Amino acid sequence: MSSSVGGGGGGGAALAGGDVAGLLDKAKELDQLRKEQDDVASEINKIHKKIISSPEMVDKSVDAMMARLRGFYVQARELSESEISASSALVGLLDGLLQSGVSAAPRKKIEISEQKKKRMKSDTDTTRFSSASMRSQLDQAANLKGEQVAARVKSDDEKDEWFVVKVIHFDKETKEFEVLDEEPGDDEESAQKFERKYKLPMSYIIPFPKKGDPSSA
């Protein structure tokens, strides 16, 4: 009996790692021990009744009956000890599983929460820096109103060319410049000018460096 419990203990060690199937096997072993105990108890009760009901028969075979009764009591004691050992092992396994499950869940939750916080902070910082940079660019673009800039526009033959134009307006929503291209007339003495307006994205505009501005140097 003791050997079977020891084998169960080995299976129980694996349970510490979360082997639920091993836990069920250990419980089945405990049930089997209790059934064997019930069988032995039943045999002991039969002998007791026989002794009480037929004392004359006991006198004739007292040695054999006492030896048999002693054997059942020894077996019952071994089964009882095995049950205690198996029960203790099962309780230990259950405690181990519960402890590992309870401690792992909050730890995992905390780790996920910390990772989420770091990711959210990183995303927030990136968004904040990107937003600040974009606002700065938009403000600089809006300040170009009335200034002359280099603009890339398509000529009549659909080729990209660079012209010096004047910024009329900048739309922060569409991020587009409205510029004016002032071309002098063919007659140099004529004051007449041909004006063309364009709407161009920010990437098509290059501001001219301002005198005394170190950032444009």
- pLDDT value of residue 168: 92
Instruction: Mark residue 182 as left, alpha or beta (left: phi above 0; alpha: psi -120 to 50; beta: remaining).
Output: beta
Same domain for 112 and 44?
yes
- Stretch 14-27: mean pLDDT: 62
Reduced to 3 states (helix: H, G, I; strand: E, B; else coil), residue 166 is strand
Query: Range of 166's domain?
Result: 148-216
Residue 31 domain-assigned (yes or no): yes
pLDDT per position as a tens digit, 105-120: 555 555 556 666 666 6
Residue 136 domain-assigned (yes or no): no
167 contact partners, CB below 8 Å, separation of at least 6: 144, 145, 146, 147, 148, 149, 177, 178, 179, 205
Asked if 213 contacts 201 with a C-beta cutoff of 8 angstroms, the reply is no
pLDDT per position as a tens digit, 120-173: 666 655 555 566 677 788 888 888 888 888 888 876 667 778 888 899 999 988
Residue 43 domain-assigned (yes or no): yes
pLDDT band at 34 (very low <50, low <70, confident <90, very high): confident
Helix H or strand E segment including 89: helix 62-142
Q: Does this model's pTM top 0.85? A: no
Same domain for 117 and 182?
no
Domain count along the chain: 2
pLDDT per position as a tens digit, 71-83: 888 888 888 888 8
Same domain for 103 and 177?
no
Same domain for 51 and 107?
yes
Lowest-confidence pick of 48-52, 119-123, 206-210, 211-215: 211-215
- pLDDT value of residue 176: 92
Distance of alpha carbon 142 from alpha carbon 152, whole angstroms: 18
- pLDDT value of residue 12: 40
